[in-house]
Chains A and B, each alone.
Chain A
Amino acid sequence: MPANLLDDMETEVGSERKEFHWTLNFGPQHPATHTTLRLILELDGERIVKATPDIGYLHSGFEKLGEHLNFNQYVTIVDRKNYISPPMNEVAWHHAVEKLLDIELTKRCQYIRVIIGELARISDHLLCVGAAALDLGAFTAFLFCFNQRELIYNVYEEMSGYRFHPGYTRVGGVMQDFNDRVIGRIRTVLAGLPKALSDLEKLVLRNRIFLDRVRGIGVLTKEDAISLCCTGPLARASGVIYDIRKDEPYLAYPDFDFQVPYATEGDSYARFQVRLEEIYQSMGIVKQAIENLPSGPVNVPIAEKFPLPDKGTSYNSMEGLIQHFELIMPNRGMESPVNEVYAAIESPNGELGYYIVSDGSQTAWRTRTRPPSFIHFQVFPHIIKDHLIADIVAVLGSINIIAAELDR
Chain B
Amino acid sequence: MTEAATTATDPHAQTLATLTRTLGDGAFSTSEFRDNTRVYLSPDQLIPALTTLRDECGFSLLEVGGTDYLAYPGRDKAKPRFEVHYALLNRDTHERLILKVGVSDPDPTIPSAVPLWMGAGWMEREVFDMYGIKFAGHPDLRRILMPEEFAAFPLRKDYPLRGRGERHNFPRLTRDES
Contacts and interface: CB of A to CB of B under 8 A. Distances in A.
Interface stretch (A139-147, A227-235, A255-263, A308-316): A227-235
A366 B73 CA distance: 13
B122 A375 contact: yes
Interface residues of B, number: 40
Given A342-B87, A365-B72, A248 B94 contact: yes
B98 interface: yes
A67 B87 CA distance: 21
A338 B74 contact: yes
A40 interface: no
B87 A355 contact: yes
Interface stretch (B18-26, B42-50, B55-63, B170-178): B55-63
Contacts of A61: 154, 161
A370 B65 contact: yes
B63 A370 contact: yes
Contacts, number: 107
A226 B67 CA distance: 25
B34 A102 contact: yes
Contact of B67 (A227, A366, A378): A366
A359 interface: yes
B98 A227 contact: no
Contacts of A339: 33
Contact of B73 (A63, A242, A360): A360
Contacts of A215: none
A158 B122 CA distance: 40
Contacts of A68: 161
Interface string A380-408: 00100000000000000000000000011
Contacts of B117: 227-229
A377 B68 CA distance: 26
Contact of A229 (B35, B98, B120, B145): B120
Interface of A: 55-56, 59, 61, 63-65, 67-68, 99-100, 102, 224, 226-231, 240, 242, 247-248, 337-342, 344, 351, 353, 355, 357, 359-360, 365-366, 368, 370, 374-375, 377-378, 382, 407-408
Interface of B: 33-36, 38, 60-63, 65-68, 72-74, 85, 87, 89, 91, 94, 96, 98, 117-123, 126, 130, 143-147, 154-155, 161
Closest 5 CB pairs of A and B: A229-B119, A368-B65, A56-B145, A228-B119, A370-B63
